[in-house]
Structure 1
């Protein structure tokens, strides 16, 4: 991947889980007994994927993701050691979560997730880092669901005023408490979402362009809406428009959105404008979509 010389400090908040990737002809219907081909078992999770891609791009960062105690945690711990990832949170009250990812012929993926300690955030976990030093902070909607959301947002109140929070909405965005969602969609937040997530964030908007305007009016920060192989749409204070995607033979879409976030952060922190950063992010996402499984 093309490198980006980022000169800003980035904190990635989220999860590392175990991905079990299964290729299927079609998703099973209720009561059906379907078969699939096991593709691989690997460490994944949005924050983990963002971290791995940022490392590949040369983007310095810290990954704040809990590692528990148990079978899945041991696999994740070994993976962190293999890739030289610092273990910032070690928690012995439970194991990490895991998921089965069903990959259809189109490359589209559907997840069944069994959550672990990554959904049980504690205020004390933030004692490991100084939130105030970071210029960019990534957080996924997965971690903001349920009781963890208020814990994370309380910790983020310590970030410096000119920092940017990249909110990666996630497919679980509609399960996030509405008051908490209103709190995070405020000035200083860069919203990153796909079309389905866009509909949850701006339900009254009748187009991608109108949704971006609605969200930008709340955050006064860049809004980036990914559109699969069509690329993405962005809106910032000076510019807006569609940025075409890169042509690629899709293996699967696992981690493509995470890679897009990583590319966006790296390019923005290197001084690129939003349009240029979106173009770079499209290229990074295409590379990940062209291979099997996450980062």
Structure 2
């Protein structure tokens, strides 16, 4: 099934990704601890992570044309990030070794569900001068995460996108999106972003009792498509005032859900850049997200068949 898209993007232009790269410290647990409990994790691993970094890897392995702006700091986590990004072929346009890079403690329960404890460092900050080498007219789409907007420098980030119109903004507010100051959230929504949210985020941001009603309410605010990920059930999209649909999910054995949403929006962006419809882009993203949750960590192997599929 293929549906037309209400998005009007110039497919030959690049994608701009602004956001964090950190170290994911993944702890496998039977269950989350309660106060005073003594647990023994099944395992601990370290991996490259951060929402924007996870998105950028999907774009990289999909052969997309994009620019990735992610500040990298110092300390033990900064050294890990710098080495890993370099090994993966990413340039590091913003290197601030005098400031600490942060990490994310990913607590993964037996069900595969994850809980994050994020220690934010320089990777969540933003400075307008970092963007001076890049012209917004070169980009068709831009990705933005709510975690960066929440930080003190998030004010400068919002101002940047307000003053540099051009690309279609894709905004992933995340589970803390509802906690953004009303002013910042409303200013982002005024930029008519495509919203990429999960079911709980949709209900909280849309203020309705169902995903469909919440997505419709959010569409009335932004005038742009609203994509709601639903796990194994797939994804719901309010594409326009007249068009909405459910894109079926792909069954998978869940190992952990780290980075599934990031991979999903990355695949949507990559597919749209290749000229696919929004429906087909979401279908491709469902396949990528299903593959991510069936493995440990947020980043698929570069030689994954999903990327060769386009």
TM-score interval, normalised by the smaller of the two chains: over 0.9
Mapped to 2, the partners of 1:69 and 1:233 lie a distance apart of 40
Mapped to 2, the partners of 1:44 and 1:70 lie a distance apart of 16
3-state DSSP of counterpart to 1:250: coil
Mapped to 2, the partners of 1:207 and 1:196 lie a distance apart of 10
Structure 1: gaps spanning 5 or more residues: 1-5
Give the 3 Å change call, closer, same or farther, for CA 187–217 of structure 1 in structure 2.
farther
Instruction: Within 5 Å, give how 1:186-197 maps onto structure 2.
Output: 186-197=190-201
Mapped to 2, the partners of 1:277 and 1:65 lie a distance apart of 25
Corresponding position of 2:38: 33
1:233 paired to 2:236? yes
3-state DSSP of counterpart to 1:94: strand
Of 205, 209, 217 in structure 2, the residue corresponding to residue 206 of structure 1 is: 209
Tell me if structure 1 keeps the 8 A contact 2:24–2:49.
yes
1:281 paired to 2:285? yes
Tell me if structure 1 keeps the 8 A contact 2:143–2:171.
yes
Of 157, 161, 176 in structure 2, the residue corresponding to residue 152 of structure 1 is: 157
Corresponding position of 1:164: 168
Tell me if structure 1 keeps the 8 A contact 2:142–2:169.
yes
Deviation string for 1:17-55 (max 9, x for gaps)? 010011000100012121102242011000000011111
Instruction: Within 5 Å, give how 1:236-251 maps onto structure 2.
Output: 236-237=239-240, 239-251=243-255
TM-score (structure 2 length as normaliser): 0.89
3-state DSSP of counterpart to 1:36: coil
Mapped to 2, the partners of 1:120 and 1:13 lie a distance apart of 10
Counting matched residue pairs gives: 288
3-state DSSP of counterpart to 2:123: helix
Mapped to 1, the partners of 2:12 and 2:258 lie a distance apart of 28
3-state DSSP of counterpart to 1:214: helix
Structure 2: gaps spanning 5 or more residues: 1-10, 300-310
Mapped to 2, the partners of 1:268 and 1:249 lie a distance apart of 28
Corresponding position of 2:222: 219
Mapped to 1, the partners of 2:136 and 2:162 lie a distance apart of 9
Mapped to 2, the partners of 1:158 and 1:89 lie a distance apart of 21
Tell me if structure 1 keeps the 8 A contact 2:145–2:174.
yes
1:57 paired to 2:69? no
Mapped to 2, the partners of 1:64 and 1:268 lie a distance apart of 21
Of 10, 28, 39 in structure 1, the residue corresponding to residue 15 of structure 2 is: 10
